[in-house]
Structure 1
Amino acid sequence: MGLSINKVLCCGFNFPHHSHSSGYHHIVPLISDEYLNANRYLFGNSEFGSFKRKINLLIYDILIPFKYKEHQLIHYIYPENHLLVSVSKKRVNVATVHLPVEWLEKNSKRSFIGELRYHAFLKLDGIITLSQDQADLLKEYLPNSNIKFIPHGINELTSKPLKIPKDNFKIVVIGSNFRDYNIIYNLLKFIESESKNWEIHMLGLEKSRISEFKDNKNVKVYKYLEEDQYISIIENSHVHLLPVTFATANNALLEAHALGVPTVATNLQAIKDYALSTTRLFDSEQELINELLDVERMDTDQYNILRVNTHNESKRFYWSNIKKEVMDFYEEVKMNK
């Protein structure tokens, strides 16, 4: 018999920048009946990176062992932000790693806190990564650890048909982490030089970048959106553009696909881990432009077949499907403990 969810304790928090449909914490109700959320502790609403938030995460990590009940397995949802002293060898410990391996190397062994973090990761019985190349690199850094790539998931979303008016081709860019802004700058130059009626809608743009785009006539920048507005802008876009310099899981990619919006993305291995047959990858700015032009030239029927296929293929990343892989990994780790 497999591990029951009342024997699993999940530890983590909710990021404020995630939409209601995104974020790794959405898997928690499927794998555990208890979630220790750092947001509910002292200074839990403080901004990430602030002194108060650092105090919050330190107190939280110290208190985790006092919250153990009959739990046999502890799953750290966002370990990079707090994992220092809470790992107990009396229980099975699993963590999902989101950041690049370089982050762990940079933040380990160079200070007292770094040493604590490094040894905490060494104590883990299992590590889940969100891309295959991330798993391969982490195995080089932690060669004795049980490391497995299990995809990030997405909540179930619906898709709707959409026309492509030739005078208003909408491209949505979501998020800011590891985004390749040079690609966007050069795309805007192409739009201007060719007098294309293309609009770039930018959601979740970091504050320091807003001034660079807000006055461009071909760009619409959204500072804050309610969940229904956020979803509406994505699903009413014709293409999701994802130019990145690094990737593991990408909530924007998962959300766009679940809404049926085809993606044009940088050709990285981690993007391929989540790509569908409808996902278009580019290695150069000219390839990007060619892919966008190809979508723009589709008639409505062709385009909506593309949306239907995108939505249907995205279902393999629903959390209900990812859950089984995570639970199977729990059993593997538990047997090897």
Structure 2
Amino acid sequence: MSNDVLAQLRQTFFEECDEQLAELETGLLQMQDGATDSETVNAVFRAVHSVKGGAGAFKLTTLVSFAHVFETALDEIRSDRLEAGPALMKAMLRASDVLADLVSAARNGDDVDEALWRGLADEIAGFCGKEKAPSPAAPVSASDPAPAAFAPQPMAFTPQPMAFTPQPMAFTPQPMAAPPAFTPQPMALPSLAPAPAAEDAKAGGALRILFRPRVELYEKANDAVVLLRELERLGAMTVTCDLSEAPLLDALDPHGAYLGFDIHIVTDRDEQAAREVFEFCEEDCDLVIRREAAPAAEAAAPAAQAAAAPDPAAILNALRP
């Protein structure tokens, strides 16, 4: 990619940041006044998520780290695991100002003192039950001094003879039983949501999404759990986890990305609505989105099975190393 194209993309990103920051402030003020409905909270979450996603693409590590803490707290609120009380809302309004300062510093290429944001990030992380916010990865600067050259130094050494008389040792090898053979067993995961009801199926079809994250998606602080929760807002969703590329434990890389997801959503929304969820990470995953006809009514799962369907985060957390 040429420098001119990259510069244009960067300028577009910061222009969109201005819009997202304005929407963020408006939404937070509404939440402070008691408007904690899903539409308001989701709008605030998407604003922070968009800033973080673009910052990750340009490797703005400090901006990504702070936005990630902010985004995590908002995700806890919209999942009803955290109450948007007065103390938290006061901290989030301050966080909105700090996020704007970090965007401005990134736009101008200014260095940012960690004291500007670290204390507030830790405070927000504390509301989520975490002691401290994660530190950003330190980028390598062209102005950093080069390491000193290594010059080997001579060392005087005179070998001394040492008397040694080998001693015989009795040893009788013992047979060892072969370990039992290991046969991998397939594991069936339950669907992540109730099967769509017949009346929903008649509403106008469904979306089929094949989503397989690559390592780069996680390196840029994105999370498959957050993306799946965002997709679930489009309609009744069923997810099948693809373990076909997962190796055995002795060959597993803890930093690898092995899981894929076959997602079915009963909705009248179009493909673009689903693609917007992957707006800032589409280049870091294998993604296919297509529209399909709605399933037959008899394919719906019994209500008892639907009630037992687990939370998407529970399955992903259980599969993580």
Under a length normalisation based on structure 1, what TM-score does the superposition of the two structures give?
Answer: 0.29
The structure where strand makes up a greater share of residues is 1
User: Which one has the largest radius of gyration?
Assistant: 2
